[in-house]
Amino acid sequence: MGGEASTKYPISTATAIIDITLSLDTSAYAQHDVLAATQVVADAFRAAGTGVLQSVVLNDYDYNARAIDLIFLSANTAIGTENDAVTMADNANVLGVVQVTAANYIDMINSQFATKSGADCGFGLKGVGPQMWVGAVYRDATGDTYTAAGLRLKLTILQD
């Protein structure tokens, strides 16, 4: 019974939980504006430079609870200027997008948060070195304002 011998590679995994305060402009946003310019997610990966995004928690301390796209990138690729229309020229470095809708938020009286996990954000990640990048696009038509530190992300990454 001839069969090809399999090659096995030892894989060791770890989980990273990373907190990020998104940089924000404090003026009113229009639909499809860059909410948070591209910023680094330090220590997203170990030596292999790969992993799986397991979950995203978006904490909204400004109590807006609006539709936001979180764009994850393998390189420091600009998606545009905060509070201007998204102008991403090249999407070759996009690892995936997590779409948060108004219906995803849970009201905590003085703040709101949304959680996305499993199939909503379970995409593979590959970075250059230990980091990746994230930016955010405002998708609502309401025209909300945010404080400079009004949105925080908590990412759970299964690292190779």
Q: Please, what's the b/e burial string for 55-76 (b: 16 or more CB within 10 A of its CB; e: otherwise)?
A: bbbbbbbbebbbbbbbbbbbee
Residue 22 per-residue DSSP state: P
- 96-146 residue pLDDT tens: 999 999 999 999 998 999 999 987 777 777 767 788 999 999 999 989 999
Which position has the token pair 């770890």? Answer: 14
E-strand ranges in the chain read 14-21, 34-41, 50-60, 68-73, 94-100, 105-107, 112-117, 124-126, 132-138, 151-159
Summarised one tens digit per residue, pLDDT across range 33-73 is 999 999 999 999 887 788 889 999 999 999 999 999 999 99
Query: CB-side exposure of 56: number of CA atoms within 13 Å?
Result: 30
Nearest-10 Cα torsion for 82, 101, 105, 58: -40
* Amino acid residing at 75: A
Whole-model pTM: value is 0.89
Assess whether pLDDT exceeds 90 at residue 22: yes
Give the count of beta carbons closer than 10 Å to the beta carbon of residue 8: 6
Strands 105-107 and 34-41: unpaired
